[in-house]
Copies of this chain bind each other. A is one copy, B any other.
């Protein structure tokens, strides 16, 4: 493998000149730069990563802390991971995947060994050891999701509170006054996951403000959970004319199947909105209007947040992305009531 010395020799300059030509930290004559670049191409030179880490302060590696909980949703998880890798590559960074049970030790190890420049943290729990850890380590970090009560770290997330309000507003504006919600599996809720709490808060507030009646089901995990949840919801809120999903695909699919079984049609009998959908809501059996989870945007911002801290540009801050709406025709006005007032 060619070293910088080989390149310097081939180009007839000193190694520091090569280094500066590559980093751009000092000006280099155009002709010299060209000779250097040609030598680099010919020798297929790639700078040695270890030497770079040791000499410079940079490793060009970002850790991705992605614990897959016992009930984690594999496809969503994978989408985040892939998206972070792509975002990192766009900045010439590689990703070290930390995905074992013990997230803390992984981050600590990689950081103490100066293997990484920073870390992107996903799957944030309400009480997350990684928050004090990266704070103590002074490690440039970007959270995907907002740990409750944190404001001294870079976090990126959908504005779930706003998404909850928008969901209500959209359906209420269409004329609905009784909206059911099928949420995430109750095992998520038991862990008191922050984004669920924020969505619910916004949703409930807006319902109260608008006098909309509502009921929520937190199902069992999986397709069957979705079916059951829908049945329970009908008992709880028989007058329901609109349904909001705030959950992952399998539950949506289970509920949609049940709805079809009952002979109900969307949106004629029931308006449906997929809120904060990490999946492609247009590939369901019934395409659903959605407030999409801007997954790629979140991952890209997270990577940029982390790298900004690495470069000491700006300060950590919490960013909430405004929800958007994608109409796929699953929302309509409710049927005229059987006995109007």
User: Interface stretch among A19-27, A78-86, A160-168?
Assistant: A78-86
CB–CB B94/A1 < 8 A:
no
CB–CB B94/A95 < 8 A:
no
CB–CB A49/B44 < 8 A:
no
Q: Which of A63-103 contact B (CB under 8 A)?
A: 64, 68, 74-75, 77-79, 81-82, 85-86, 89, 94-100
Find chain B residues with CB under 8 A from A224 CB.
285
Identical copies of this chain, number: 2
A110 lies within 8 A of chain B by Cβ: yes
Q: How far is the CA of A86 from the CA of B97 in the complex (A)?
A: 10
Q: Which of A133-165 contact B (CB under 8 A)?
A: none
User: Interface stretch among A112-120, A203-211, A304-312, A319-327?
Assistant: A112-120
Complex partner residue of A53 from B47, B50, B82, B110, CB under 8 angstroms:
B50
Residue of B nearest to A92 (CB): B109
Name the distance in Å between A322's Cβ and chain B's nearest Cβ. 27
Residue of B nearest to A50 (CB): B53
Find chain B residues with CB under 8 A from A47 CB.
113
A30 lies within 8 A of chain B by Cβ: no
A271 lies within 8 A of chain B by Cβ: no
Q: How far is the CA of A52 from the CA of B77 in the complex (A)?
A: 33
Name the distance in Å between A132's Cβ and chain B's nearest Cβ. 16
Q: Which of A188-242 contact B (CB under 8 A)?
A: 222-224
Find chain B residues with CB under 8 A from A1 CB.
112, 114
> Which residues in A have some Cβ–Cβ distance to B below 8 Å?
1, 44, 46-54, 59, 61, 64, 68, 74-75, 77-79, 81-82, 85-86, 89, 94-100, 106, 109-110, 112-115, 222-224, 253, 283, 285
Can you list 26 residue pairs at the A/B interface with Cβ under 8 Å?
A46-B113, A48-B53, A48-B114, A49-B50, A49-B59, A49-B113, A49-B114, A50-B52, A50-B53, A50-B114, A51-B54, A53-B53, A53-B54, A61-B96, A64-B97, A68-B82, A75-B78, A77-B78, A78-B78, A81-B99, A85-B97, A94-B115, A95-B97, A96-B96, A97-B97, A223-B285
